[in-house]
Amino acid sequence: MADPSQLSLGEASRAIAAGALSPVALAEAYLERIAALDGELHSYLLTLPDAALAAARTAEAEIKAGRRRGPLHGIPIGLKDIYKTRGIRTTAGSRVYETHVPDEDAESWVRLREAGAILLGKQETHEFAIGGPDFTLPFPPARNPWNTAHYPAGSSSGSAAAVGAHLCAAAMGSDTGGSIRGPAAYCGIAGLKPTYGRVSRRGVFPLSYTLDHCGPLARTVEDCALMLQALAGHDPLDPASADVPVADYAAALAPRLDGMRIGVIRHWHERDAVAGFGPDNTPSAAYVAAFDAACRTLESLGARVADIDAPPLIDFADANRVIMVAEAYALHEQDFRTRPQIFGRHMFARIGLGAFLSAADYVEAVRQRRELCEAFAAATAGVDAVVSANTTGPAPRIDQVGTWGTFERASYTAPYNLTGLPALSVPIGFEGGLPLAFQIAGRPFDEAAVLRVGHAFEQATEFHRRHPPIAASLPSRR
């Protein structure tokens, strides 16, 4: 096999199961690419070549002995550097934890490791999952694999860039206001925010207890389904974890959508973005055309597609940001008061806003969240899934992303953090050589339906099969 790093997770898994691909060869291919390319991409903060190759050799021996654990056995992945790893430095992208070595593993990494996944390294994150891209920190910001002068979005920036550039088969990100789905959109890959409580957050540095979600980034929807299968399930030691049955996600994937009812929330990008956030949030013409074409594709697959009305986009963004900033400030208040100079400028400015919020502000945002959840459930009661915009244009240049951009631009992802619903980002086109994407959301704990819609769309289109120039095969040195 010339370059196994070009395979999706699902393809690599099937090749390993068939004996056509060695886990050692797959790990070597990814490590070779990281060594050759990551000096430009900065997607990893730390790599673990010796440990990864040792784990790959163990996986290969187990599989040959007939003890294959499942689809992830022998698959190399990365972790956003807010996932604690016992004995391995975990920085949260901050000087506060620059030399921190945890004595525990995040529960989600434990589950992936027990499923046979191999850890290649820890991936770049905005400081505490909100403060970036910040060039004043000791960790260089990750770059977009489609054009390294451009932003990969955040805060799961390194994880998305690494997946997009074929520097791992899949990665774990986190999502408080869109930090899985935004990077997935800009990097041209799939990214899934599961239902709140579906995946344990124990052992992951928090940003907002009310809004934080953990989930996978991968090259295809099938890959996300395979990752979620290992991740999903109740964790009795995580107070937010839900004890809800787990579906067979891979079995739910199908090429057709016959009988499914899909609602389209078009007014968020056609009217609400400009009305609530200003004219700079006007979607590009290319994005509107790509979104409309994607909806027609869903209809051609047998779905019944119709526009629906949801609460205004600005209402979700307002409540989301107040809750996030208030809870984040509470987490970091002592350090803000005693050693503010240790933080990067973006992190300090964004989270510092929490010092000016009152208890009444927070309580009102929590009340508004409850009302929006009820209103959204009523608006979507007659459909099986919902599609809406993600980022409504291509990735900006990384040097044009300032401290307040995250607050000034329309957030199409925040509604699903506020409601806790599952949401998936899938590529729908390109503009200026950079990817475009939309979101597919569903009912609570119905990730199976969301993944089914995303997979059928992928199979009917070619967008996920395009790869950035940096992802082209390297000349083999083996």
The token duo for 415 is 């509604």
The token duo for 105 is 């593993």
Based on the number of CB atoms within 10 Å of its own CB, is 168 exposed (0-12), middle (13-18) or buried (19 or more)?
A: buried
**Within a domain: residue 153?**
yes
Residue 4 contacts residue 137 (beta carbons within 8 Å): no
Residue 469: how many other CB atoms lie within 10 Å:
10
**Within a domain: residue 128?**
yes
- 41 to 7, 138, 151, 225, 438: CA distances (angstroms): 20, 15, 11, 27, 25
pLDDT at 477: 44
pLDDT at 409: 86
Measured between alpha carbons, how far is 191 from 179 in angstroms, rounded to an integer? Answer: 9
Backbone angles phi, psi at 45, to 5 degrees: -90, -25
**Within a domain: residue 351?**
no
**Within a domain: residue 425?**
yes
pLDDT along the chain (478 residues), means of 10: 92 98 98 97 98 98 98 98 98 97 98 98 97 91 98 97 98 98 98 98 98 98 98 98 98 97 98 95 98 98 98 97 97 96 94 96 98 98 98 95 80 98 98 98 98 98 94 60
- Cβ neighbours for 429, distance < 8 A, ≥ 6 positions apart: 286, 287, 289, 290, 293, 294, 435, 436, 463
Give the catalytic positions in this structure.
80, 155, 179
Q: What is the 8-class DSSP label of residue 389? A: E
Closest of 462, 309, 290, 465 to residue 386, by C-alpha: 309
Range of the domain at 12: 4-314+367-471
pLDDT at 475: 56
Q: Is the pTM of this model over 0.85?
A: yes
Q: What is the 3-state secondary structure (H, E, C) of 311-377?
A: CCHHHHHHHHHHHHHHHHHHHHHHHHHHCHHHCCHHHHHHHHHHHHCCHHHHHHHHHHHHHHHHHHH
Closest of 188, 177, 189, 178 to residue 217, by C-alpha: 189
- Cβ neighbours for 360, distance < 8 A, ≥ 6 positions apart: none
Closest of 202, 198, 200 to residue 246, by C-alpha: 198
pLDDT at 132: 81
Closest of 101, 108, 102 to residue 202, by C-alpha: 108
pLDDT at 473: 62
pLDDT at 402: 81
- 27 to 31, 56, 82, 315, 379: CA distances (angstroms): 6, 7, 23, 46, 46
Q: Order of strands, edge to edge, in the sheet holding 423-431?
A: 44-47, 118-123, 76-80, 170-175, 213-218, 190-193, 423-431, 434-442, 385-389, 261-265, 304-307
**Within a domain: residue 25?**
yes
**Within a domain: residue 280?**
yes
- List the CATH number of the domain containing 467: 3.90.1300.10
Residue 477: how many other CB atoms lie within 10 Å:
7
Measured between alpha carbons, how far is 469 from 473 in angstroms, rounded to an integer? Answer: 9
Domain tally, the chain: 1
**Within a domain: residue 350?**
no
- Cβ neighbours for 437, distance < 8 A, ≥ 6 positions apart: 181, 184, 185, 188, 390, 391, 425, 426, 427, 428
